[in-house]
Amino acid sequence: MMMFFTLFLHSFLPADMRHPAKGNQTMISEFILLGFSDDPKQQPFIFGLFFFMYLISVLGNLLIILAIRFDSHLHTPMYFFLSKLSFVDLCLTTTTLPKMLLNIQTQKKTISYAGCLTQIYFLILFAYMDSFLLTAMAFDRYMAICHPLHYTTAVSPQLCVFLVAGSWFITFLHSLLHTVMAARLFFCGDNEIPHFYCDLTPLLKLSCSDISTNEVLIFTVAVLLGLAPAMCIVVSYICIVSAVLKIPSAEGKRKAFSTCGSHLTVVTLFYGAGMGVHIQPSSIQSKLEDLLASVLYTVVTPMLNPFIYSLRNKDVKAALRKLFSCETIPTQKL
């Protein structure tokens, strides 16, 4: 899929980029991902650390997906969204880490121009899909706690599928728009990206073209597709807290809060890391701080999500025990 998308992006490249020898200027055909360190002695440690984190992330998210798939007790809207979130988290990590590990192993730091745009496309796609899924999960918890009598009819399987499909469609167009706009730019100067992956904002800073349109697009879409889901989550939890505080018994309040505790933890981790990457001014943010925030956003958060949902959820832990014990579990569709 990524190879097909790379070939697709190649058709949007400027003529001088597709045929650098024909241009009047020396055009950049590849970028250098500076990563974390140039010290050869530190490379084995960095490789081992991130390989371990990637392995944990893949195994953890796959286990969540399999547990939900093969346990009929988890075929509910909340776990339907959770399985999709685990899949997206797995893809988000796979977008960045394999290329980084390959560069360390081959002792190269380069990535092709089309490969860089491809990585940007999938990074935007999966990051915003994460945001939409967390919003859908917040809506699910809002209906379950604030309108329990209407929950079964309101949060139907058809609505869940529609929300996920609609999110994929919106994020597909969004990431494609950013990537195609970036593909029209020229790069003829510095080609060093101070990251371990290709990110849109650092890439635009290297362009020798006018990027004002790209910057306006980034700001406008970020407000529409970035701020709106976050506000929906905040409003949902304000309503949830208000409803829970009206519950007379302490035990009832505890159970109500426990049903959304894991989701609230993941939301805080995701948006907190995202703010560290995209909102903090570069003037007060060092390269190391920026790299650490990026690691937290694209690697640590997807790795921790399966543990957050499994360690604090009796149903998921029971499903995982059944999965490991190879018991035959009847399946049914959502």
Summarize the confidence of residues 26-34 as an average pLDDT.
78
261-274 pLDDT, tens per residue?
A: 788 888 888 887 77
Per-residue confidence at 56, pLDDT binned at 50, 70, 90? very high
* Predicted local confidence at residue 107, as pLDDT: 84
* Predicted local confidence at residue 10, as pLDDT: 52
* Predicted local confidence at residue 243, as pLDDT: 86
User: What percentage of the chain reaches a pLDDT higher than 70?
Assistant: 85
Measuring CA to CA, how many Å separate 248 from each of 102, 245, 251, 252, 254? Answer: 57, 8, 9, 7, 11
- Taking the C-alpha atoms of residue 42 and residue 261, their distance in angstroms, rounded to an integer, is 38
Q: What is the DSSP string of 26-63?
A: ----EEEE--S---GGGHHHHHHHHHHHHHHHHHHHHH
Of the two residues 71 and 94, the one the predictor is more confident about is 94
User: What percentage of the chain reaches a pLDDT higher than 90?
Assistant: 32
Question: Would you call 286 helix, strand, or coil by DSSP?
Answer: coil
Burial of residue 279 (number of CB atoms within 10 Å: 0-12, 13-18, 19+): exposed
Domains of the chain, earliest start first: 2-17+38-324 (1.20.1070.10)
How much is the mean pLDDT over the chain? Answer: 82
* Predicted local confidence at residue 326, as pLDDT: 62
* Predicted local confidence at residue 37, as pLDDT: 76
Of the two residues 284 and 240, the one the predictor is more confident about is 240
CA angle in degrees (0–180, nearest 5) for 230-236-238: 105
- Give the pTM: 0.84
Contact status, residue 18 vs residue 10, Cβ threshold 8 Å? yes
Summarize the confidence of residues 198-213 as an average pLDDT.
87
Is residue 218's pLDDT more than 60?
yes
96-139 pLDDT, tens per residue?
A: 999 999 988 888 888 988 899 999 999 999 999 999 999 999 99
Per-residue confidence at 202, pLDDT binned at 50, 70, 90? confident
Is residue 191's pLDDT more than 90?
no
Summarize the confidence of residues 244-248 as an average pLDDT.
82
Is residue 19's pLDDT more than 50?
no
- Bridge pairing between strands 30-33 and 110-112: antiparallel
* Predicted local confidence at residue 279, as pLDDT: 60
Q: Which of 203-207, 235-239, 279-283 has the lowest mean pLDDT?
A: 279-283
Is residue 63's pLDDT more than 50?
yes
Helices (H) and strands (E) in the chain, counts: 14, 3
Question: Would you call 111 helix, strand, or coil by DSSP?
Answer: strand
Per-residue confidence at 330, pLDDT binned at 50, 70, 90? very low
* Predicted local confidence at residue 179, as pLDDT: 92
Of the two residues 160 and 294, the one the predictor is more confident about is 160
Is residue 251's pLDDT more than 90?
no
- Taking the C-alpha atoms of residue 175 and residue 82, their distance in angstroms, rounded to an integer, is 22
Is residue 329's pLDDT more than 50?
no
- Taking the C-alpha atoms of residue 186 and residue 6, their distance in angstroms, rounded to an integer, is 18
Contact status, residue 207 vs residue 185, Cβ threshold 8 Å? yes
Which residue type sits at 298?
T
* Predicted local confidence at residue 27, as pLDDT: 65
Summarize the confidence of residues 195-200 as an average pLDDT.
87
Question: Would you call 200 helix, strand, or coil by DSSP?
Answer: helix
Sheet of 110-112: strand order equals: 110-112, 30-33, 192-193
* Predicted local confidence at residue 124, as pLDDT: 92
